[in-house]
Amino acid sequence: MVVELEITGDEREYGPKTVVANSQWDVEQITSTGELTLQVSVDDESVLDDTHDVPTPGENRTSYAAVRLESDGEVTAFVEEED
């Protein structure tokens, strides 16, 4: 699995990484605001292309992007703010 992130023009690539079913890969902790594009590919095939607004980090808070591989092989991704 390869994950490509673009946060308001800043492109980064992670992987390839082996991810087993029913597991989650916390790709990156994010400390800036903006728009995040997540692209995920498995065996050179695109399986996800999503854009998210990055929640505004506050006092002692950050955001993070995570990719989850479900047991049926479906890939989901999300961006969340943590306390």
Tens-digit pLDDT profile for residues 9-54 = 788 888 788 877 787 777 777 777 778 788 888 888 888 888 877 7
Write out the E strands in 1-83.
2-7, 10-14, 23-30, 34-42, 45-54, 62-69, 75-82
Q: Which pLDDT band, with edges at 50, 70 and 90, does 61 fall under?
A: low
- Report if pTM > 0.75: no
pLDDT given for residue 50 in this prediction:
84
Q: How many domains is the chain partitioned into structurally?
A: 1
pLDDT value at 72 more than 70: yes
User: Hey, which residues does 28 pair with through a beta bridge?
Assistant: 65
pLDDT given for residue 59 in this prediction:
65
Residues with Cβ < 8 Å from 29, sequence gap 6 or more? 62, 63, 64
> Residue 13's domain spans which residues?
3-82
Asked whether 38 and 5 are in contact (CB, 8 A), the reply is yes
